[in-house]
Amino acid sequence: MLGLLLARGGLDVTVVEKHGDFLRDFRGDTIHPSTLEVMHELGLLDDLLKLPHTQAPRLHAEIGGRDVTLADFSRLPTRCRFIAFMPQWDFLDFIAREAQRLPNFHLVMPAQVDGLIEAEGRIAGLRATTPEGALTLRAALVVGADGRNSVLRQKAGLEVESFGSPSDVLWMKLSHQPGDPPYVMGHGGPRQDFVMVDRGDYWQCGYVVRKGSFADVKAGGLEAFRALVAAVSPLPASRMDEIAGWDDVQLLSVRIDRLKRWWRPGLICIGDAAHAMSPIGGFGVNLAIQDAVAAANILARPLKEGRLEARDLAAVEARRRFPTWATQKLQLMMRGNRRKRDATEKTRAGPPGFMRSIARWPVLAHLAGRLVGLGFRREHVRLP
């Protein structure tokens, strides 16, 4: 997204992508109203929504045996009052195609970053390895947007502050059948251990376990795992037979962290490279998009005029630090009771307090919809 925005602003941009394609399963596939609004401002919304997707005007949870609306997007001041669930590879392919229409945008993939180039006390480019051989790129600015396991932030020596997480998520696919719950995304179980996303002909399902306990879960056997999932899933227990083996279960290691400082002269990190998010609320992708818009708004002119300074990079961090801090605080609150529990214990705590509050006062679902859908600070495209 940042590459597209800067290229639209007249800058020469190269995006270096580690993999040969964007096809990864069980990634963050939520496109929130704030991101859809950015696509509208770019004139790309109509074409984006032609791609296969499902729309969730509300998010649901099963609490005390009844369906509760957790977040309602129907009153948002945006063109799209829903979350779009779209495979992330489709979204990234779309952005890449639009960017590649511009002659000053270049996408190199696959390319593994090996190191940074330093000159006169600043980052001046990077080195990467491609199937064709070594690649050296010199640049006025290097942007680390390579995720929570960022190679660039590690090689730049940027210090990470971790807030931990008491849980991991085990993802799996279950078929979508007539008579299944009517919502596009929902949470279930006595402590909301189970999340399901409508992917059309199947459900993408996540089962929450204690941090680092996947090996213990596997040691208990596949049949016991199916029983654990069935106990919290609104789907029939027989559906769990579709989990044929452990290859059908993918571990997402959850963590929340952020850089103490996002930049060095000549380099800045954005998105998960600057602040790893929990999957709770699906904030990660959309916070990253907002980072990209803010970075483009602040950096495009000094880059174009050849006068980029450290204070410009600091301005991007200053602009995005509060929404990052506030979102992570919200996620820490949303994860509920922090006491560690074994993944197989029978006694479960109730849902987090904010869920119980929304169940008691449904009007709060609109407030939750605003926080989830728009975040704590919206960014608007200012480039031509």
pLDDT at 37 over 70: yes
Range in 113-122, 306-315, 345-354, 373-382 the model is least confident about? 345-354
Structure letter (DSSP) for residue 134: E
- Over 80: is that where the pLDDT of 46 sits? yes
Q: Please indicate whether residue 209 or residue 302 has the higher confidence score (pLDDT).
A: 302
Strands 267-269 and 54-56: what pairing?
unpaired
Cα Rg of the chain (Å, integer): 21
Q: Give the pLDDT of residue 292.
A: 98
Task: Copy the structure tokens of residue 150.
Answer: 């960022």
Residue 72 has pLDDT above 80, yes or no: yes
65 or 16: which leads in pLDDT: 16
Nearby residues of 246 by Cβ (< 8 Å), 6 or more positions away? 218, 222
Position of tokens 């109509």? 46
Q: Is the peptide bond before 110 cis (omega within 30 degrees of 0)?
A: yes
Q: What is the pLDDT of residue 343?
A: 43
For 105-122, what is each residue's pLDDT tens digit? 999 999 999 999 999 999
Of the listed ranges 86-95, 235-244, 359-368, the least confidently predicted one is 359-368
Which of the given ranges, 60-64, 146-150, 160-164, 348-352, has the highest pLDDT on average? 146-150
Q: In which band, very low, low, confident or very high, does the pLDDT at 356 lie, cut at 50, 70 and 90?
A: low
Strands 250-252 and 167-175: antiparallel
Q: Which domains does the chain have, with CATH numbers?
A: 2-163+255-374 (3.50.50.60)
The whole-number pLDDT of residue 338 equals 43
Residue with the bigger pLDDT between 255 and 131: it is 131
For residue 180, give Cα distances in angstroms to 88, 228, 239, 359. 24, 19, 11, 22
The pLDDT tens digits for 267-286 are 999 999 999 887 766 788 89
Least confident residue range of 46-55, 105-114, 191-200, 314-323: 191-200
Give every CB contact of residue 311 below 8 A, 6+ residues apart in sequence.
none
**SS3 state at 79:** coil
**d(C-alpha 106, C-alpha 268), whole Å:** 19
Q: What average pLDDT does the segment 204-229 reach?
A: 91
Distances (CA, A) of 367 to 83, 150, 284, 343, 364: 15, 33, 19, 32, 5
DSSP string, 349-375: ----HHHHHHHH-TTHHHHHHHHHHH-
Contact 50, 90 (CB under 8 A): no
pTM for the full predicted model: 0.85
Alpha-carbon torsion, ordered 351, 354, 359, 363, to 10 deg = -160
Instruction: Please give the structure tokens belonging to residue 209.
Output: 């376990």
- pLDDT-derived band at 184 (thresholds 50, 70, 90) equals low
More confident residue, 109 or 185: 109
Q: Is the pLDDT of residue 39 over 70?
A: yes
User: Which residues does residue 187 pair with via DSSP β-bridges, in sequence order?
Assistant: 61, 195
Reported as a single tens digit per residue, the pLDDT across 150-160 is 999 999 999 99
Residue 348 pLDDT > 70 = no
Task: Please list, residue by residue across 110-136, b when 16 or more beta carbons sit within 10 angstroms of its beta carbon and e when fewer do.
Answer: ebebeebbeeeebbbbbebeeeeeebe
pLDDT the model gives residue 278: 79
Answer yes or no: is pLDDT of 345 > 60: no
Q: Which position has the token pair 């961090």? A: 317
Torsion of CA 47, 48, 51, 57, to 10 degrees: -120
CA-based angle 227:232:238, to the nearest 5?
50
